[in-house]
Amino acid sequence: MAPVLGVRYEESTAIPFKATTSLASYIPGRSIVPKHDATYEYEDLKPSFSNKKWPAYAEVPYDDKAHRGSPAFTNLLATATDIFDYNPKVGTKSTASTSQHSPDAAKNELALLIATSGRCYRSFLWHLDAPYELQPSSYTSLKVLKVPPRGGGGDTLWSSQHAAYDALSTPMQNYLESLTALPSSHMQAEGTLAAGRTVGRDPIVTEHPLIRSHPVTVWKALFCNPGFVTQIVGVPKVESDVIMGYLNEVVATTQELHVRLQWGKDDVAFWDNWVTNHSASYSFAPYRRRAGRVAVQAERPFLAPDARSQEQELAREYGLPAVNKDGSKQSHCKD
């Protein structure tokens, strides 16, 4: 549901910012809102809805370029002046320059970085895109063309599904690994019809594992989207609903899973739709926010026999202590 505008917003032709005169005049949460011009520079990028119908997708071969990337990232970082991780579990920012003219080796390493880190910078409900597809998308890029002013909202958040899996108890992990779910596009299609638009491709229901493995890292990840999953296969609906509610709670409220990007104009983010969920923050109304997205069709999700936990593998590699999941040895709180 779109935010409702109240009296806290006022019309102005000024460039929007928080304090218009001095810090002494600052009022928390009160924004100055510009009038929108009759012409819009990104008019051609506004959503459009065709009446064309498309055939259902058929399964196609998939080859992940990340398999060819060097774990030293030598080519990708050749032009970088800085790189750092926002969060040990998810999110990396790099100043490396990568474009369509970059050598294939650098692009392969970028794919490997995204596969390893979950998402890489240059920001509704937590969700991954189109989980109902036979072969859901993997690497996804978003370039933001128009953003609210600083402090105007419109951030994007991502959560690591590797870390979501690792946040579960071992019995719960084992149980979920035995289950599959049924994501459906029917609700999306019904919304399209209700809006008087054409459903471009017939709605489908597809069976996918609740726990999948990444084809490059072979790390296990939660693979579910509560907004699209209609049922967990082979369990009573009440049990299915409880499980999906719990998994959504883990994704939405476990802070160490999350990373957040406050967008700047022309910022570009890449993320791995296989193993991250994302959520837009809709606090930017009435400012405009415009972006262009490109996604890669990937393989059909599966759980490999040799799949492993990201947390356990990194703990072994770096000699980290075992995670105390139940908090039984926690002696104090940290702020």
Catalytic residue among 122, 129, 288, 290: 129
Residue 266: DSSP 8-state: T
Amino acid at 335: D
214 classed as catalytic: no
258 classed as catalytic: no
277 vs 118: CA distance, rounded Å: 10
133 vs 184: CA distance, rounded Å: 9
Contact status, residue 138 vs residue 106, Cβ threshold 8 Å: no
Query: Smallest Cα–Cα separation from 273: which of 256, 251, 295?
Result: 295
Catalytic residue among 119, 127, 162, 214: 127
Backbone angles phi, psi at 158, to 5 degrees: -125, 150
Residue 160, strand partner residues? 276
Mention every residue, 6+ apart, whose C-beta is less than 8 A from residue 81: 95
Catalytic residue among 162, 212, 214, 278: 278
169 vs 171: CA distance, rounded Å: 6
Place of tokens 């719990």: 246
Q: 219-231 as b/e, with b when 16 or more CB fall inside 10 Å?
A: bbbbbbbbbbbeb
119 classed as catalytic: no
127 classed as catalytic: yes
Residue 308: DSSP 8-state: B
Catalytic residue among 67, 150, 293, 316: 293
Q: Hey, which residues are catalytic here?
A: 127, 129, 278, 293
